[in-house]
A = this chain, B = another copy of it.
Amino acid sequence: MIIMKKYTLKQLAEFLSAEFKGDPDCIITGIGSLESSVPGQISFLNDAKYKKHLDTTKATVVILKPEHCDLYNGNIIIYNDPYLAYAKISLLYDDRPAALSGIHPSAIIDQNCSIDNTVSIGPYCVIGKRVKIGRGSQVHTGCVIGDDVQIGENALLYPKVILYHKVKLGNNVAIHSGSVIGADGFGNANEKGVWRKIYQLGSVIIGNDVEIGANTTIDRGAIEDTIIEDGVKLDNQIQIGHNVHIGTHTAIAGCTGIAGSTKIGRHCMIGGGVGINGHIEIADGVIISGKSAVGKSLTKPGIYASSIPAMPYQTWGRVLVKLVQLVEKKKA
């Protein structure tokens, strides 16, 4: 990985509005972990249990909490939350390709769209009728934008994102490749054993500052809309059912599925591989451990879990036998 960007210690400290110790003019060209960093890189210590790595790190600068500054003699940036400082600095060293520029001639755009003249649209995109796209937004290769979609400012749609008709995105929304927003919710009514489709008349409304990973799906609402509020962060391969409502600044890890009409609160943290039942409510501030199943509403903030850590196969087999015996004894 070749990173060509260079900042001095003084520049980085100013960027963070932080104090520093050491050579203000030393050059930092990238970020490394304490263990792996090479000269020229900046690193950070967030958790005291890794402090031994301070003795051997080759990083040119280390970001430290005030209480850890005595542990290290080299160049230091002092910051209460070094992990957050790292997050902020990561922007400076981001090496993703430069923004697209302009509209590629192979993009097919309906005449009645309202697309800001700062928007860039990549090759082989297809943009439907009456689509609005706000200033600074980038729509990369092969995205398909349905009729009446509205996209705010500074959107970043990676290649092959699909937005079905009428989906609305706020400002600063990023969606990674392969994600599908606004496909039909899973609605069927049974008539004498045969499923009759319930046409999905709602849409998907996504707020500001939302990031969505790759191959995630968010279904359109059955009657009303599916809603993702401001600041929500969704990882890859997540499934959001129709009419789900996710509150502001909630983060959800990969492979989690949320069934229809469930309301997730604000500032929740939901682990990977979780399954959440439909038609329930999760309170603000709930944390759900990975691979848990949530069957009923969780009405109080706190940490919840139900996954069993894998154990040796034979031990687990004996546990399963005991589990069933618990019930059999009851019957006896």
Contact = CB atoms under 8 A, between A and B. Distances in A.
Interface in A197-222: 197-203, 211, 213-215, 217, 219, 222
Contacts of A267: 193
Contacts of A31: 201, 223
Nearest to A295: B309
Interface in A167-197: 176-178, 180, 183-184, 186-191, 193-197
Interface in A1-20: 1, 3
Determine how many copies of this chain the complex contains. 3
Interface in A135-193: 140-142, 144, 146-147, 158-160, 162, 164-166, 176-178, 180, 183-184, 186-191, 193
A122 to B, nearest CB: 7
A111 interface: no
Nearest to A30: B201
A201 B239 contact: no
A158 B183 contact: yes
A174 to B, nearest CB: 8
A192 B307 CA distance: 29
B215 A36 contact: no
A293 interface: yes
Interface string A298-332: 10001111111111110111111011101100100
Contact of A160 (B96, B128, B144, B277): B144
A83 to B, nearest CB: 5
A134 interface: no
Contacts of A95: 165-166, 201
A186 B273 CA distance: 14
A306 B312 contact: no
A144 B147 contact: no
A33 interface: yes
A141 B1 CA distance: 29
A195 B231 contact: yes
Contact of A311 (B162, B305, B310, B313): B305
Contacts of A304: 310-313, 316
A222 B303 CA distance: 27
Given A1-B166, A294-B309, A124 B142 contact: yes
A254 interface: yes
B32 A223 contact: yes
A20 to B, nearest CB: 20
Given A90-B201, A255-B255, 14 more contacts: A30-B201, A32-B223, A93-B199, A97-B147, A126-B142, A176-B180, A193-B267, A217-B237, A217-B254, A237-B237, A292-B310, A304-B310, A306-B308, A306-B316
27 contacts: A31-B201, A90-B198, A93-B201, A95-B165, A95-B201, A97-B165, A106-B108, A123-B126, A160-B160, A160-B162, A183-B213, A186-B236, A215-B237, A237-B237, A239-B254, A241-B254, A254-B259, A257-B273, A273-B275, A275-B290, A289-B310, A308-B323, A309-B320, A311-B324, A315-B324, A315-B327, A323-B323
